[in-house]
Amino acid sequence: MVSDVGTYKTPNEHGVYEDFDTWRERKAAEAAAHQRERGLEARLTALERRVNARYSEVVEAMTLAFGDLREEMRETHETLVGRQVQRATKDASRAFANEIQKLRNEVTFLERRVKELESKRGTK
């Protein structure tokens, strides 16, 4: 028979015999561990929400930035292509004008030559 209450030991869930004081300390430590775990889970959940919110902001900012960048690149490309077309058109029109001028000079030369030959033939 147990003479003192503190000397009675019972097996716990692990099969280890413990007295009431040891059991109470173990249960208090387990409760404190559960409390810390719940606090940690709450902090991790809050951190996850903040990270997800920030991630969404970053994704949206990147989408907007690259959308703006794509639009800017498209406008730059269109501007450059327009300039190249204008430059090519201007160069082609200059070359065409030069060719026309050469042909006019040749026609003028040939007209003079024909007049010269006609005048020589007419004087003979």
Which residue matches tokens 């028979």? 1
Tell me which residue range forms the domain holding 91.
Answer: 8-96
Q: Decide if 42 contacts 48 (C-beta within 8 A).
A: no
| pLDDT recorded at residue 20 | 78
Q: Decide if 9 contacts 18 (C-beta within 8 A).
A: yes
Q: Mean pLDDT for each consecutive 10-residue tract of the chain (124 residues)?
A: 58 77 88 94 95 93 82 89 92 94 95 90 71
Which residue matches tokens 């949206």? 60
| pLDDT recorded at residue 4 | 58
30 falls within a domain: yes
As for how many domains the chain has, the answer is 1
32 falls within a domain: yes
120 falls within a domain: no
124 falls within a domain: no
| pLDDT recorded at residue 8 | 64
| pLDDT recorded at residue 1 | 39
DSSP state of 74: H
